[in-house]
Chain A
Amino acid sequence: GENVEQHPSTLSVQEGDSAVIKCTYSDSASNYFPWYKQELGKRPQLIIDIRSNVGEKKDQRIAVTLNKTAKHFSLHITETQPEDSAVYFCAASGPTGNQFYFGTGTSLTVIP
C-alpha cells in the first residue's frame, strides 16, 4: 500500500510570513494529492488538490507543488493570517486512484 510521510508535525509562523508543509509518498502509481484543513473540533475540509499530470496549482494564497520523480508534494501558504491556524493533512490516492492515505498532520499556528 501507499505510505505518506508529512513534515513538520508542528509549525509556528508570524502573521504575514509564509508556511510550507512537505509530504512524500511511496507508490509511484498514486495520481491524486489532496490537502485538508481541520480546524479545532471540526471536520477535515479540502483546501486544494493536485493531480499527477500537473506540477503546480495555485488558489489565492495557497499553492501546491508536485514532484513526481522525487515523489514529494508541498503546500505553500503565503501571507499567513491567524485564521490559517489549524491542522493540515496531506493525502495520496494510492494506485487505484480512490483510496486515500493520509499523512500524520501538521499543526500550524499563526502568531498575530
Chain B
Amino acid sequence: GAGVSQSPSNKVTEKGKDVELRCDPISGHTALYWYRQRLGQGLEFLIYFQGNSAPDKSGLPSDRFSAERTGESVSTLTIQRTQQEDSAVYLCASSFTGGTGTEAFFGQGTRLTVV
C-alpha cells in the first residue's frame, strides 16, 4: 500500500488481557514511531525505531509496554495486563531518514478500549 497501515483499527479488550497492535510502515522508511493519543489530548511519544539502531524506548510508560520491529518493516506494540488507563488511540508513523528531518506519515491508528 501507499500509506502507513495499522491493524486492528479498533480493539476492545478486557482488563488484564494482553494486546498486540501492528504497524506496516511505508516501504523504504527507516524511521518508525509509536504515539499514544488519549481522548482530546496530544501525541504522547512511546518509542522510536531507526534502522538497525537500538530503539529509543524512553517514552514507554511502564514495563507492561514493549515494541519490536523486524529490520525496516513491520512493528508490533504489545501491552501486557491491560489497564483502563491504557484506553487510547495508538498511532504509528514512519519517515524516510534524510538526515535533515523529513515528513512523518501517520497511520489511521488503533483505537484501544479496555473494559
Contacts and interface: CB of A to CB of B under 8 A. Distances in A.
Main secondary structure of the interface of A (DSSP, over half): loop
Contact of B42 (A1, A98, A99, A103): A103
Interface in A19-48: 31-32, 34, 36, 42-46
Given A34-B103, A43-B106, A89 B48 contact: no
Interface residues on B, range: 20 to 34
Contacts, number: 59
Interface residues of A, number: 23
A93 B106 contact: no
Contacts of A73: none
Interface class of chain B by DSSP:
loop
Interface of A: 1, 31-32, 34, 36, 42-46, 49, 51, 89, 93, 97-105
Interface of B: 31, 33, 35, 41-43, 45, 48, 50, 56, 58, 91, 93, 95, 97-109
